[in-house]
Structure 1
Amino acid sequence: MLEYCTKSILLYVSVLITQGYANDDARRLYHDLLIENGYNRLIRPVNNSSDKLVVKLGIRLSQLIDVDEKNQVMTTNVWLRQEWYDMGLTWNPDEYGGIQFIEVPSDNIWLPEIVLDNNADGNYEVTLMTKATLHQNGLVVWEPPAIYKSSCTIDVEFFPFDIQRCSLKFGSWTYDGNEVDLVHICANKNSSDYGRHIEMGIDLRDFYQSNEWDILNATAQKNIKRYLCCPEPYPDITFNITIRRKTLFHTVNLIIPCVSISFLSVLVFYLPSDSGEKIALCISILLSLTVFFLLLAEIIPPTSITVPLIGKYLLFTMILVTLSIIVTVIVLNVHFRSPATHTMAPWVRRVFLHILPKLLIMRRPSQERDKIHKTWVRTCNGIEARGDNFSEIKYLRRYDHANLRRHTEELRLLGEAENLPTFRRRLLAPEIQGAIDGVIFIADHLRKGDYTSSIVQDWKYVAMVLDRLFLSIFTTACIVGTFGILLQAPTIYDDRKPLTPVHPSVTCFSS
């Protein structure tokens, strides 16, 4: 046990001595570079003031945190990689124990002051001032992390099947293009445009997959802008990100409910008019669409440039529901008509009772009436009269057998009693004459009732034909409108695969 403790102490002391020598070389190098040589971090590191310092710039996208459509802001987590040569920070590795590079606080060296020009929160700088890496040939590499909120113009035309194009525009806050020239880190000096456009301009090797967006394109573009006030050029590097929304969430929570509500409006015409719930169903559907409109207003920006795709569909459905309410009111008005209030025109009878039912494959139940014979039948309850003018059995009255025998011959004429002249009726016995008058009154009343019922049933059938007609029209309109509007979205036909995940070898960035 004692021997083990002794060996451990000796090993620890040897490591401390080794680190002491190593740290002594690094301490001496740091002192010579930044203190002894009189290095000034406020002066641009060039030999002549007219020389142009080239700063290479690149970003490594770590995470697409959020795309706020309402406020038109994209939040990203990036590493901003910057490289330049500072000839005041070179050394001979042999004089400092073979040290090839050293990390120093970025506050102690000159920085090109690269900021995000199109930021949306007023925060232009990086999140953390990390250390910079100095190489023995004067190369300075600084890659601080940053969470940027950049402005992004949201195109809501095809929402929620949309593709957005956002950008991160970086430029020097202090220096113009004659003092500091910005070049993409993957730019090739041998190319004709020297990195004006980089197809794969963003490092996506460490990108954390987004649950809402797919990255389709990530390019970089160098721009040179000149202002009227100043002759100097002002370069910037713009990183363009093309993202496509993943549609599963909005399809399940927005599209399918809207389509279901749209087709519910068709069922209004299948609901019987006697139920009294047709208007209530229409109003309920209209209120549901209003809730979806309010939900949509909370998601998308309040723009007047274009109407989003889902907004067009909701507006189309709301128009259909409004028209269905108007048509339902008309159908109910027709359904409850009667001969006392309306007279059915001949063309209405011809079109809605004969022509349209055949076209709509509707068959009205047959109304065959029992054949009525103009004969009298003696039963145990009395005498039953059956004739063509009666749809039911009419009871005259009950006679005793003596009276029945006496008036048997007269009762045979009862079937034709309505057609007898008045002077012939007077020849009958008073009892038979009273019975005939009662039968005639009942027959007239039943005849009028049958006529009224027939007209009412005709109006109800016209209402049924209207319901079936508009059921076909609105069903066709819903199907055509649904496919015609939703299939306008280009992402439905976009089969491009996202760029992520990226293989570690597919990049021009150094590790």
Structure 2
Amino acid sequence: MTGLFSLLQNPACFLLFVYFAVNKCECQTSLNYNTIAFYKLHSKLFETGYNQNVRPTLNSSQATVVNVKLDVLSLRDVDMKEQQMKMLVLLEFQWTDELMSWNPNDYEELRAIFIPQKKIWVPDLTVDQYVGDTSLKMGDDSLLLKVGSEGGVTWNPGLTLQTSCAVDIMYYPYDQQVCAWKIYPLMSDTQQIKFDPPLGVDGVYGQDAQQNAEWEIVSVVNETCDFNVSSGMLPDTMSCIKYSFTLQRRSTFLSLTLVTPTLLLALLSALVFSLPAESGEKVSLGVTLMLTFIFLLSILMDVLPGSSLQTSVFMVYLVGLCACSALSVVLTVLVLSLHHRSDSLPLTKPALFFVQCSAGRACVKKNGPVLRKTSVAPIVFVKECCEKGSAGKRAKGDEVVGNGRPEEVVQRSGSAEMTWRDVAAACDFLFSRLFLVVIILATASFCVIMTWPE
């Protein structure tokens, strides 16, 4: 120990000692990356002139086949007004990169590696019908792609797609929509890229996916397609894959909050003429119902697109109910004018005939004709009533006066003469039955049409 200390006191020996110590530490801590399988493989793949901008194929006349698989994670929204659909999807693209292959035996049985997207060739794909606020970009530069030893590449970009969807509003709110969009290359034609979906695999809507409260995805169907594009002097054909989504509306909420109240209000429309004229509420009830139907129409106008190509059956039904309410208001004003007409004005023969025919007062009652004193009725009508009357009823005081012709029936009970109020009551009776029949037929037709697609 004393000898070592004495040697270190010599400057030359001290420097020599430090030199050997440092070299020994560097030899112990330094690593040779060329001996690690991943680094060795990475150097072999990318340091030999690989270019991510060039389609990786040994035969340039042979197209790169891209397999596509779609996984729908959630349906975010279907905007009927803007005719747009928004969903979150996960796409899986698979193709063969002929320049990305190696023998696993040479790299410690390394059969797959993960490479960032910016370092490897990916197809130039986009989505048709995309209407998002920003430009569509599939994947990200930092997204990792799985590359197998045989050159198979798997790319899984996730997308929030906002696409246009031509909605069919005819059977709203029991409608079924079919929305479709396509994936196709921006510049590559069929001689460079072709789509080939996995056999027997359509789009998948996972059981663990987030359910939409308003819409249900019934099915997702894919199909390959080709379309022609004009590029310069020669037309090009591009390959594409089309996804069709069948969406069924969950209509329970709208049935309870929109359809059921409308049907109940429709039945109330026929009760306007059953309300007594003395109440003073006949016109106000009709106007209230008409304004209610107009309010329901405004709700539909805020939800449905303003298109004349298709018409909603529900909207036509509401317009019909609104028209019936407006007509009921007009007829109610007419009935009230008859009800409040002065009794000094004589009744006309058409008015008497209308009352007798609509209310059936001459032939329905068991006690015989009830025509008031000095009331004049048509010969045929009174004759029919007299033929239905019994001989006992005539014995009690009813008789035909004049020249033996049944033109005037006088009731000896001394009841009051028929007035314009009777005419108004007869009008109410006729209109109430007529409107009830019309509304029931319209409502039944509406229900049949809405359930017809099912």
TM-score category of the 2 structures, normalised to the smaller one: 0.7 to 0.9
Match of 2:166 in 1: 153
- Aligned partners of 1:312 and 1:485 also within 8 Å: no
Residues 1:458 and 1:359: Cα distance change in structure 2 (over 3 Å): closer
* Residues 65-214 of structure 1: pairs in structure 2 closer than 5 A: 65-121=76-132, 123-126=135-138, 128=140, 130-184=143-197, 186-187=198-199, 201-206=202-207, 207-214=209-216
Q: How has the CA–CA distance of structure 1 residues 267 and 75 changed in structure 2, closer, same or farther, with 3 Å as cutoff?
A: same
For 2:210 and 2:40, the matched residues in 1 are separated by 41
| Residue 173 of structure 1: how far off its partner (Å) | 1.2
The match for 2:56 is 45
Report the CA distance shift for 1:253/1:365 in structure 2 as closer, same or farther (over 3 A).
Answer: farther
Which residue of structure 1 aligns with residue 45 of structure 2? 33
1:11-410 residue pairs with structure 2 within 5 A?
24-34=36-46, 36-121=47-132, 123-126=135-138, 128=140, 130-184=143-197, 186-187=198-199, 201-206=202-207, 207-229=209-231, 230-340=234-344, 342-352=345-355, 354-358=356-360
SS at match of 2:245: strand
Question: 1:331-351 CA distances to partner (integer Å, 9 max, x unpaired)?
Answer: 1111112233x3211342243
Instruction: Write the distance in 2 (CA, Å) between the matches of 1:366 and 1:339.
Output: 25
Number of residues of Structure 1 aligned to a counterpart in Structure 2: 375
Q: 1:31 to 1:359 in 2, by over 3 A?
A: farther
Secondary structure of 1:461's match? helix
Instruction: For residue 328 of structure 2, give the secondary structure of its aligned residue in structure 1.
Output: helix
Q: Shift of residue 156 of structure 1?
A: 0.9
Structure 2: segments with no counterpart, 5+ residues: 1-31, 371-413
Give me the identity figure in percent: 26
Mapped partners of 1:312, 1:109: distance in 2: 57
Shift of 1:208: 2.9
Q: TM-score, normalised by structure 1?
A: 0.68
On the 8 A contact 1:178/1:232 being kept in 2, the answer is: no
Distance in 2 separating the partners of 1:135 and 1:233: 31
Contact kept, 8 Å, 1:160 with 1:309, in 2: the verdict is no
Q: Is the Cα–Cα contact under 8 Å of residues 357 and 363 in structure 1 kept in the other structure?
A: no
SS at match of 2:239: strand
CA drift at 1:24: 4.2
- Secondary structure at the residue paired with 1:318? helix
Deviation string 1:161-183 (CA, Å, 9 cap, x unpaired) is 11111012100112111111122
By how many angstroms is 1:89 displaced? Answer: 1.0
Give distance in 2, aligned partners of 1:360 and 1:266.
26
Q: In the alignment, is the contact (CA less than 8 A) between 1:226 and 1:232 conserved in 2?
A: yes
Once residues 253 and 211 of structure 1 are traced to their aligned partners in structure 2, the CA distance between those partners, rounded to angstroms, is: 16
CA distance in 2, matches of 1:363, 1:271: 24
Counterpart Cα distance in 2 of 1:349 and 1:304: 48
Q: Is structure 2 residue 430 aligned with structure 1 residue 469?
A: yes
Say which one has the larger Rg. Answer: 1
- Higher relative CO (Cα under 8 Å, sequence separation at least 6) belongs to 1
| Cα distance in structure 1, aligned partners of 2:323 and 2:146 | 65
Q: Residue 297 of structure 2 contacts residue 315 of structure 2 at CA under 8 Å; is this kept in 1?
A: yes
Residues 210 and 360 (structure 1), Cα distance of their counterparts in 2 relative to 1, 3 Å cut: farther
Task: Tell me how large the CA RMSD over aligned residues is.
Answer: 2.8
In structure 2, what is the Cα distance between the partners aligned to 1:256 and 1:362?
Answer: 38
SS state of the match for residue 37, structure 1?
A: coil
Structure 1 residues 224 and 361: CA distance shift in structure 2, 3 A? farther
TM-score by length of 2: 0.76
Deviation at 1:359? 8.3
* 4+ residue runs over 4 A deviation: 359-368
Gap runs ≥5 in structure 1: 1-19, 188-197, 369-450, 495-511
How far, CA to CA, are the matches of 2:86 and 2:363 in structure 1? Answer: 60
Task: Give the structure 2 partner of residue 482 of structure 1.
Answer: 443
Structure-2 separation of matches of 1:361 and 1:290: 43
